Amino acid sequence: MRIILIGPPGAGKGTQAAAISEKYAVAHISTGDILRENVRSGTKLGLEAKKFMDAGSLVADSLIIDMMRGRLGEADAKSGFMLDGFPRTVAQAEALSSLLDEMSLRLDAVILLEIADEAVVGRLCSRRVCSSCGAIYNTVARPPKADGVCDECGGAVIQRDDDKESVIRRRLEVYHAETAPLVDYYEKTGILRRIDASGPRDAALKCLEGLMA
């Protein structure tokens, strides 16, 4: 199974993706997670990407496309993948399409998570993440059992630098300008599915179960 999740920041792509990759055993490939890992380990890509990420802007298409060409070639992606945070521009979608053609693969579905901007701001201001395993928490709806400690791995639960309100608003602007055009792009291919991201945490999984049945 090969699927793409699209949605504004805070739509819950990471949470929905985790439910799907558990059920279908496909590689969960999050460009945001890969970039943050590169920032942490201080790679050339990480150093280059950090300033854009901190500002809530997009990292250059060419860097992202090279990174994803490598990632999609890895062994665990052979049996299928779920892309979370990629493609994010029409140029990236076109590059992905050529890449899949080269590998003689096709996409099964593109799932669009829809949610209002104001709901996103509320969610992201209270979002916290585990700095080691990436588990997602919320100070209101889903706090870790022990303050600041990940339930899954014991790692430190922190606020992402880009989950500050001014940066959140900038990320939303970037989403509407750069990523929303992908909706039209994939609508034309006939594989776009829309789900209400303000609903249950496993809505995307349910949508896929319906598709695969």
Positions touching ligand ADP (CB under 6 A) are: 9, 31-32, 35, 52-53, 56-59, 64, 85-86, 88, 92, 162, 171
Q: How far is the CB of 126 from ligand ADP (least distance, A)?
A: 14
β 2-6/127-130 pair status: unpaired
13 is a catalytic site residue: yes
Shorter beta-carbon distance to Zn ion: residue 12 or 134: 134
Residue with tokens 């992202």: 64
44 is a catalytic site residue: no
Say if CB 46 and CB 13 are below 8 A apart: no
183 burial via Cβ count (<10 Å: 0-12, 13-18, 19+): middle
194 is a catalytic site residue: no
Which amino acid makes up residue 48?
E
Residue 144, beta-bridge partner list: none
Residue with tokens 């979608």: 93
Residue of 25, 103, 146, 153 that binds Zn ion (CB under 5 A): 153
- Say which of 50, 160, 194, 201 is annotated catalytic: 160
18 binds Zn ion, rule: CB under 5 A: no
* Beta-carbon count within 10 A of 34 CB: 20
**What residues act catalytically?**
13, 88, 127, 160, 171
* Binding-site ranges for Zn ion (CB under 5 A): 130, 132-133, 135, 150, 152-153, 155
